[in-house]
Amino acid sequence: MQKKVTHELNPNVSVDCVIFGFDLEKLTVLLIDRGQQTQHGPRLALPGNLIYNDETLDQAANRVLDELAGINDIYLEQVGAFGDPNRICKDADREWLQTIRAEPEARVITVAYYSLVKMSDYSPHASSFAKTAGWAPVSEIFELAFDHFEILQAAKDKLRQKIKIQPIGFNLLPEKFTLSQLHKLYESILDKPLDKRNFRRKVQKIGIVTALKEKQRGVPHKPSLLYKFNEEKYEALSKNGYDNFDF
Amino acid sequence: MQKKVTHELNPNVSVDCVIFGFDLEKLTVLLIDRGQQTQHGPRLALPGNLIYNDETLDQAANRVLDELAGINDIYLEQVGAFGDPNRICKDADREWLQTIRAEPEARVITVAYYSLVKMSDYSPHASSFAKTAGWAPVSEIFELAFDHFEILQAAKDKLRQKIKIQPIGFNLLPEKFTLSQLHKLYESILDKPLDKRNFRRKVQKIGIVTALKEKQRGVPHKPSLLYKFNEEKYEALSKNGYDNFDF
DNA sequence: TTTGAAAGTGTTAAAATGACACGAAGTTAA
DNA sequence: TTAACTTCGTGTCATTTTAACACTTTCAAA
C-alpha cells in the first residue's frame, strides 16, 4: 500500500519567512500589509503559508519566497517551530485566516525561516513584487500580527549568532560594496557600535574581501574603494575550521 | 464562536527528544529500543510522540520526558523542525507507527528538542524508568530509526554552539563535581582535546565554579577537590553580556 | 576657494591564548 | 613497608588578539 502523502495543503503546519534586506544603512525586513483584510490588531505580518503534504519544509519556505517576490536560490536558514495553541486564535485574526487557508479553526504550528537577500534585486518597484509587501527597518518594528514579532526577534537572534561564525552577511550586500557599508551591516546586525579601524583591520587580515580597482561614484565626498567577497578564501578558511567572524 | 482547539492528538505534528546525559566519562543519549515492535530498520529511536492540540510544543516535549522517565524541570532547548515528507514513510516503520498514533498514513513533521539531565537522577534502574529505554554513548551511535540520527547530529551541533556561549553543561553534572569531570564534559561535547591547565585556568578565572571544602572519596588515586557551579556569579556575568565560555 | 563629509590609516597597552612538564597525594599490590 | 600506579594540581613564557584612540586625505558642492 502506498503512503498517501498527496499534493494537498496540510491544515496544521505553515511556514513563515523573515526576509532580511540591507538598504546600505540599516537592516530591514519584508512585511505584508494585511490592511485590506483586517480591522483588528497589527496590520503588518510576515509572509507565510500552509505547507503542502508532498514538499519538505525548506521547499515550502522557498515556495513562499518565490510566490511572493520571485525570490530564488537565496540564503535560507530555519529559525525554529512556533506552536503556542493560541498563537492565531484571536477572533480578530479569523477573517484574515480565511483568506489563506481552508480551516480557520485548525490548530496551526508554524516553522519560521529567515533569509538574506540583496535588497536591490527585490525592490518594491520590481514587477515581480507583491503590491501589498514592503521593506521596513527592523529597528522601527515594535509589533506584528499573530506571534510574528516574537518570530522576528528569534530570527534576529539566530542571525546575530550565525554571523559571528560564518560571513553570511555578504548575502545582504551587492556584489561590489564599500568597507563602510560592510561595517554598517555588522553594526546593525550586532546592534552595537564597532570601531572603524579595528573592524577594517580584522576584515582585511582575514582576507575575506578583495579590493577592486574601482571606486564608488556619485557620492558628495571622498569616494571609497569597492570590494567584493572573496569566496575562495572563505572556502579555504572554513575547510580549516576557521570560525571567528566576531568583529 | 470559540475556537475548537481541544485535547486531541494532532496527527501531523510530533516532538522528539534528544536527552543528553554524562556518565562522568562521556556524553550519552537516552534511546528507546523498538525491538519488540519492528523487525525492520534500526531498533533504536529517540523518545517522542504526537502533540495534543491544546498544549504548546514546549509542553509536549516536557510531557514526553515526564511520561518516559518522570523527568521534570529540566534544561530543554528546541533544535528545530524536521519535515521531509519521507522521513517516516518506509513500510518498515508502519507497524511501529501504529503503536503510537492513530493515522499511520498521515504526513508527520516533528519538532526536535534536546535536554540535559543529571544522569545519576535517571539511571535505568530507577523505577520510573521505562523498561525499553537506556543510555548509549553518543560516540557509539551510527544509526537510528526514521530520521533520528540526523536529529541527533543537529542536537549535538546545537549543544556545541550553545555551550560556547552559556555554561549549560552544569545541567549534566551532579551538584558536586571535580574539575576533571568538567574538563571531560567539555571535551566530549566539543569533541576535541583541551589542555588541562589552560582549561582550569579559564574556568577559575571566570569564577563560574566554587571550590568546596570537600574531597572526592573512594578513588584509587589522589582525590580531587570538589566544586559546585556558582550560579550567582553566572547571573552577574550574563547581566553584563559576558558570553565567552569557549574553552 | 572654501566647506562639508566620509575615507583611510598606525600605535600602544592590556588581555587572552596556546604550548609545555613535574612533584604531590592518595590507593593497591607485592 | 615499600614500590608501583594513577590522577591531581600547578606556572611561565612567547605569541596573538583585543580595545582604545585622532588626524590627514579626497572628492563634490556651494
Q: For chain A, what is the mean pLDDT?
A: 90
- Asked if residues A41 and A92 have their Cβ atoms less than 8 Å apart, the reply is yes
- With CB atoms and an 8 Å threshold, state whether B57 touches A10: no
Nearest to A81 among B12, B55, B111 (CB): B111
- Rounded to 5°, the CA angle A234-A123-A216 comes to 55
The whole-angstrom separation of Cα A228 and Cα A211 is 7
Question: What are B8-29's pLDDT values in tens digits?
Answer: 999 999 999 999 999 999 999 9
The whole-angstrom separation of Cα A15 and Cα B159 is 25
- With CB atoms and an 8 Å threshold, state whether A105 touches B4: yes
Residue with cell 520590481: A126
Task: State the average pLDDT over residues A128-150.
Answer: 90
pLDDT bin (cut points 50, 70, 90) of residue A1 is very low
Share of chain A above pLDDT 90, in %: 74
> Which chain A residue has its CA at the smallest distance from B51's CA?
A83
- Asked if residues B226 and B181 have their Cβ atoms less than 8 Å apart, the reply is no
The whole-angstrom separation of Cα A5 and Cα B88 is 11
- A144 burial (CB, 10 Å; 0-12 / 13-18 / 19+) is buried
Predicted local confidence at residue B216, as pLDDT: 95
- B2 burial (CB, 10 Å; 0-12 / 13-18 / 19+) is exposed
- Asked if residues B149 and B141 have their Cβ atoms less than 8 Å apart, the reply is yes
Domains of chain B: 9-163 (3.90.79.10), 172-239 (1.10.10.10)
- With CB atoms and an 8 Å threshold, state whether A54 touches B109: no
B residues 11-70 lying closer than 8 A (beta carbon) to A: 11-13, 51, 53-57
Task: State the average pLDDT over residues B54-76.
Answer: 94
pLDDT bin (cut points 50, 70, 90) of residue B87 is confident
Write out the H or E segment, with its range, that includes residue A13: strand A9-22
Residues counted in chain A: 247
Predicted local confidence at residue B1, as pLDDT: 40
B180 phi, psi to nearest 5 deg: -65, -40
- Beta strands at A109-116 and A9-22: parallel, antiparallel or unpaired: parallel
Predicted local confidence at residue A117, as pLDDT: 96
Nearest to B84 among A56, A78, A86 (CB): A56
Q: Of A68-72, B152-156, B160-164, where does mean pLDDT reach its minimum?
A: A68-72
| β strands within chain B, DSSP E | 9-22, 27-33, 44-45, 48-52, 75-82, 109-116, 133-137, 209-215, 225-229
The whole-angstrom separation of Cα A155 and Cα A218 is 35
The whole-angstrom separation of Cα A74 and Cα A30 is 14
Question: What are A44-84's pLDDT values in tens digits?
Answer: 999 999 999 999 999 999 999 999 888 899 999 999 999 98
Question: What are A111-121's pLDDT values in tens digits?
Answer: 999 999 999 88
* Percent helix, percent strand, percent coil in chain A, to nearest 5: 35, 25, 40
The whole-angstrom separation of Cα A29 and Cα A138 is 6
The whole-angstrom separation of Cα A205 and Cα B58 is 44
Q: Which residues pair with B109 in a beta bridge?
A: B13
Task: State the average pLDDT over residues B115-136.
Answer: 79
CA of A147 to C1' of C3 (A): 50
pLDDT bin (cut points 50, 70, 90) of residue A126 is low
Nearest to A12 among B10, B84, B161 (CB): B10
Share of chain A above pLDDT 70, in %: 87
Predicted local confidence at residue B93, as pLDDT: 66
Cβ-Cβ contacts under 8 Å, B85 against chain A: 5, 53-56
Closest by Cα among B133, B124, B214 to B175: B214
CA of B227 to C1' of C29 (A): 32
Nearest to B5 among A5, A54, A85 (CB): A85
The whole-angstrom separation of Cα A12 and Cα B12 is 7
Predicted local confidence at residue B85, as pLDDT: 87
Predicted local confidence at residue B2, as pLDDT: 43
Q: Which residues contact B155 (CB under 8 A, 6 or more apart)?
A: B18, B20, B79, B112, B114
Nucleotide nearest B247, from its CA to each C1': C17
Is the model's pLDDT at B4 over the cut of 60?
Answer: no
Cβ-Cβ contacts under 8 Å, B3 against chain A: 89, 105
Residue with cell 514592503: A134
Predicted local confidence at residue B88, as pLDDT: 75
CA distance A111 to chain B (A): 7
Is the model's pLDDT at B200 over the cut of 70?
Answer: yes
Question: What are A210-236's pLDDT values in tens digits?
Answer: 999 999 999 999 999 999 999 999 999
Is the model's pLDDT at B126 over the cut of 80?
Answer: no
In chain A, where does DSSP find H-type helix? 57-69, 91-100, 148-163, 179-190, 196-206, 231-239
pLDDT bin (cut points 50, 70, 90) of residue B3 is very low
Residue with cell 560516540: B139
Cell of B90: 518506509
**Higher pLDDT among residues A34 and B240, named by residue:** B240
The whole-angstrom separation of Cα A30 and Cα A19 is 5
Q: Which residues contact B189 (CB under 8 A, 6 or more apart)?
A: B27, B156, B159, B160, B163, B169
D strand bases under 7 Å from protein CB: 5-12, 18-22, 25-29
Predicted local confidence at residue A112, as pLDDT: 98
Distances (CA, A) of B98 to A12, A66, B105: 21, 37, 10
Is the model's pLDDT at B119 over the cut of 50?
Answer: yes
Cβ-Cβ contacts under 8 Å, A97 against chain B: none
